[in-house]
Structure 1
C-alpha cells in the first residue's frame, strides 16, 4: 500500500521532527460577506457563531470587528494577549499528547487578512516570536487580502514557512452565487497565482456536494485548482448545521446533501488526478453534536476515514 502524500509527510520531511498546526481564533476578525461589504449573512453553510476559540476568548470584544478600511485598532494589545494565551495552551497540549516539537501558527477562523496591515503585521510577528514556531498558515479569502500584506508575507517566507489557505470551494460562479460567497472564481485564481509568484505556499479548500453541482463540476474544480499550482489541498463534504441558510433550504426540501457513496467516488477520482507534489491536509469533515442536521455519515470521523481507506484499497493507496 502506498500512502497518499500528506501535509504531515511534507512537514516531517522538511523539518525532521513532529510539526503541528496550532489553530488560533482572534476576536475582532470577520468576513466581507458577513459584515455587508460584499454580501450579508455569510456563506449559506456557515454558522457565524460557530467560530469560537477553545481557549482565550475575549467576551468584551464581542461586537468589535475589523476590516481592510479600519483606521485604528484600540484592542490590538488584547488580541496579542489572546494570541499568546491560545498558543501556549494549545501547543502545550500538543506537546504532551502528541509529542509535537515545532509548530505552525494557524490563523484559522474567519478571514485572517481582513484587517489593517499594522494589526496583521503585529499579530504575525508575535506568532513567529514564540518558541519553536517555524511558520504561519493564514486562512483567508481572495477578496480580503492586499498587495501590501502579500508582499510582507513574501518577505517573511525567505526565512519562515509561510502558507496562505484560500477557500476555493468551486470554480463555478453560479455555485458561488448560490452559496452567497461574494466573489468570483476568477478572483480566487488571480490571488492564488499572485501568491505563488511571490514565493508563498498555497493550500486550497474544495467542497464536494455544493448545491446542484454534478460530479463532473466537482472534478473540474479539482483539476483547475491543481492547474493553478496549489501546493496542498483540503477536501470537504458539504454538511448541514442548524442556524444556517443552508439548513432552511434543507428543511424545505430544496437541498439534498451528498451521499457517502457519492462523496467517496468523487474524492477517490480527485485524489487520482492530484499531482504527486500536492500534499493532502484533509480528506473529509464533519461534526459530532446536535447542531448537525445532515448527512448522518458526517458525524463519525473515524468511520469516514475507514471507509475512505476501503475505497482507496483497490488502488493500493491509503490515507
Structure 2
C-alpha cells in the first residue's frame, strides 16, 4: 500500500524530525464578512463565537476588532502576550505527548492578515522568535491580504517556512453567494497565483457538501484548485452546528447535509486526481459535542479515517 503524501511527511522530509503546527487564536481578529465590510454574519456554516484559543485560558479582548483600515492597535502588547502564552502551553503539550521537535506557528482562527501591517509584522516576528519555530502558517481570505503583506511574507520565506492557507471552498460564485462568503472565485484564484508568483507555499481549503452542489461541481473545485498550483490541501465535509444560518436552513428542511457515502466518493476521486506533489493536511472534519446538529457521521473521526482507508485500499493507497 502506498502512503498518501501528507503534510507531516513533507515537514519530516524537509526538517528531519517531527514538526507540529501550533494553532493560535489572537483576540481582535475578525473577518470582512462578519464586520460588515463585504457582508454581515460571516459564512453561513460558521459559528462566530466558537473560535477560542486551544488552551481555553486566554482572556478575550471584548469589543476590540481590527481590519485593514485600522490606524492604531492599543492592544498589541496584550495580543503578543496571548501569542506567547498559547505557544508555550500548546508546544509543551505537543513535545510531551507527541514527541514534537520543531514547530510551525499556525495563525488559525478568523482572518489572520486582516489587520494593520505593523500589527501583523509584530505578531509574525514574535512567533518566529520562539524556540524551535521553523516557520508560520497563516489562515486567511483572498480578499483580506495586501500586496505589502504578501511581499513581506515572501521575504520571510527566504529563511523560514512560510505558508498561506486560503479558504477556496468552491469555484462556483453562486455557491459562494449562498454561503455568504463575500468574495468571488476569481478573487481566490488571483491571490493564490500572486502568492505562488512570490514563491510562497499555499494550502487550499475545500469543502464538499456545500448547498446545492453536485458531485461534479465538488470535483471541479478540486480540479481547478490543483491547476492554480496549491502546494497542500485540506478537505472538509460541510457539517451543521448550532447558532448558524446553516442550522436554520437545516431545521427548516431547506438544506440536507452530504452523506458519508457521497463524501467518501468525492474525496477518493479528489485524492486520485491530485498531483503527487500536493501534500494532504486533512481528509475530513467534524466535532463530537452538543453543538453538532448533522450529519451524525461527522462525530467520530476515528470511524471516518477507517472508512476512508477502506475506500482507498482498492487503489493501493492509505492515509
Q: Distance in 1 between matches of 2:158 and 2:301?
A: 37
Aligned match of 2:59: 58
Q: Distance in 2 between matches of 1:257 and 1:245?
A: 14
Q: Retained in 1: the 8 A contact 2:23–2:54?
A: no
Q: Secondary structure at the match of 1:177?
A: helix
Q: Secondary structure at the match of 1:23?
A: strand
Q: Retained in 1: the 8 A contact 2:7–2:280?
A: yes
Aligned match of 2:231: 231
Q: Distance in 2 between matches of 1:196 and 1:129?
A: 25
Aligned match of 2:291: 291
Aligned match of 2:198: 198
1:122 paired to 2:122? yes
Q: Secondary structure at the match of 1:248?
A: helix
1:112 paired to 2:112? yes
Deviation, structure 1 residue 303: 0.3
Deviation, structure 1 residue 54: 2.5
Q: Secondary structure at the match of 2:229?
A: coil
Q: Deviations over 1:18-65 (max 9, x none)?
A: 000000000000000000000000000000001011224223x11100
Q: Distance in 2 between matches of 1:82 and 1:175?
A: 36
- In the TM superposition, what are the counterparts of 1:161-310 in structure 2 within 5 Å? 161-310=161-310
1:142 paired to 2:142? yes
Q: What stretches of structure 1 move > 6 A for 4+ residues in a row? A: none
Unaligned runs of 5+ in 2: none
Unaligned runs of 5+ in 1: none
Q: Distance in 2 between matches of 1:58 and 1:98?
A: 27
Q: Deviations over 1:70-124 (max 9, x none)?
A: 0000000000000000000000000000000000000000000000000000000
TM-score after normalising by structure 1: 0.99
Q: Secondary structure at the match of 2:195?
A: helix
Aligned match of 2:156: 156
Aligned match of 2:7: 7
Q: Distance in 1 between matches of 2:217 and 2:256?
A: 17
Q: Deviations over 1:204-230 (max 9, x none)?
A: 000000000000000000000000000
Q: Distance in 2 between matches of 1:54 and 1:206?
A: 23
Aligned match of 2:85: 85
In the comparison of the two structures, how many residue pairs are matched? 318
Aligned match of 1:96: 96
Aligned match of 1:26: 26
Query: CA RMSD for the aligned pairs?
Result: 0.5
Q: Distance in 2 between matches of 1:106 and 1:216?
A: 32
